[in-house]
Structure 1
């Protein structure tokens, strides 16, 4: 037990701090080398940037674990680089305003939903950076100029729960897509295993660490873990159905090859 506790106490923080780099470095290099963002969603940097910025400002009121603060700051830097590379290498015009939004494409198409003012689907790169600047500027203004609000328990808890809730929603588009198509095509077992391993590491640290870990981290971590486990259930159900159907005759036009593509990189 001593070895396990020491591994969690020292290994888990290192895992959390380096996770933004290990998760997104390959994606950044891949886009930069191929000069193409086909299959990558700009919603991913949006979700992670909003969540991480809110978590940084949440620290000024909650003073939670330094490891989690460093992770949030690192994530902001990595996601800004990823956003810059993705914007510089967007597909040619004609692919949904030059941007593919894979995770939410099914939501957009099914109900005819259009984002107000084409939010985060802008053709120019400038509005993306302006939105981030205004968001960070507004939070900084409240933190420095309006201390009665910034120091209130309601505002502090609001920052924490909003930031963590936004991050926890990242698996939902994949779950919805699998449910509607009754298929997990393009979803790799190795990716699922990495997500669940990360959830186990995070939750072990959240519940066993001697550092200050607010309950908002634990609740949102549990929600994300449940979502990832449900993705595993979907994979088991739909893959089992595919294997059972494999014995049936196939036409000459059908193929066994399935393109594998990650839509969430965390």
Structure 2
């Protein structure tokens, strides 16, 4: 029982806190070293930055474990660095592999049946990316200041942004699942990355359900969904391997490429 308490009290929280660094530092350095972000989806920083902002503003109403709050600040730092490096070294659309730097590369209108309004998060200029993040931050501060004096309404608002933020984060594996299914191949998706995701999910679930500190059900539900997605990725890896997949999809690229994406 002492070992479980030690893992729950010290090892698991520390693992949660440093996970943004262990997951994304290598990807950031790899892009910087190669001077190219081809094969990396810019949707990864989008998902993680939005989720982390919402989680931080969820904290005043939920008062969850501070390890998760610290992780959110570290995640924002890492994802900001990753986005900056990816934008600085983004290949032009006409270059080989250039399309792979676009979010959800390979998924055009007709695959999902919808296109992004105003080319959201597919802009060629870096400025709109930072403007969007700034406007999101300002909007969250404004909502916090306006709604906090009304406890009943603020409680509903806090729960809403908590579930939205964690739900957004839980969608992170979905583009990779879709890409593997369409190409019938996991080429470009490293086994070590998948293994680290699943190991992280196991540690996270263990901590969520054994921690003595308060862990809201929003974290548990979204964590369980995320773990199911990661396990399904494992099934896809077993089914498809690194084969060439369907010949008709030879030009199709996985949206996540060879990245170490994920946290929490």
Shorter-normalised TM range: 0.7 to 0.9
Which deviates more, 228-237 or 204-213?
228-237
1:1-266 aligned at under 5 Å gives the runs 1-94=1-94, 100-101=100-101, 104-108=104-108, 110-111=111-112, 113-148=114-149, 152-239=154-241, 261-263=257-259, 265-266=261-262
Determine the C-alpha separation between the residues in 2 that align with 1:134 and 1:40: 25
Ranges in structure 1 where 5+ consecutive residues have no aligned partner: 246-259
**Structure possessing the higher radius of gyration over alpha carbons:** 1
1:94-126 Cα deviation digits (max 9, x unpaired):
259x66346622332535642110100111111
1:253 corresponds to: none
User: For the structure 1 residues 23 and 111, does the alpha-carbon distance in structure 2 shift closer, same or farther, using more than 3 Å as the test?
Assistant: closer
Are 1:107 and 1:113, in contact at CA under 8 Å, matched by a contact in 2?
no
| Stretch deviating more after TM superposition (215-224 or 171-180) | 171-180
The number of aligned residues is: 248
Deviation at 1:185, TM superposition (A): 2.2
Q: What TM-score does the superposition give when structure 1 sets the normalisation length?
A: 0.86
* Aligned residue number for residue 255 of structure 1: none
Gaps of at least 5 residues in structure 2 are: 246-255
Q: Secondary structure at the match of 1:152?
A: helix
Q: Deviation at 1:189?
A: 1.8
- TM-score, length of structure 2 as denominator length: 0.87
Distance of 2:211 and 2:201 partners within structure 1: 15
For the aligned residue pairs, the C-alpha RMSD in angstroms reads: 2.3
| Aligned-partner Cα distance in 1 for 2:209–2:84 | 36
Distance 1:93 1:229, change over 3 A: closer
Report the secondary structure of 1:213's partner residue. Answer: coil
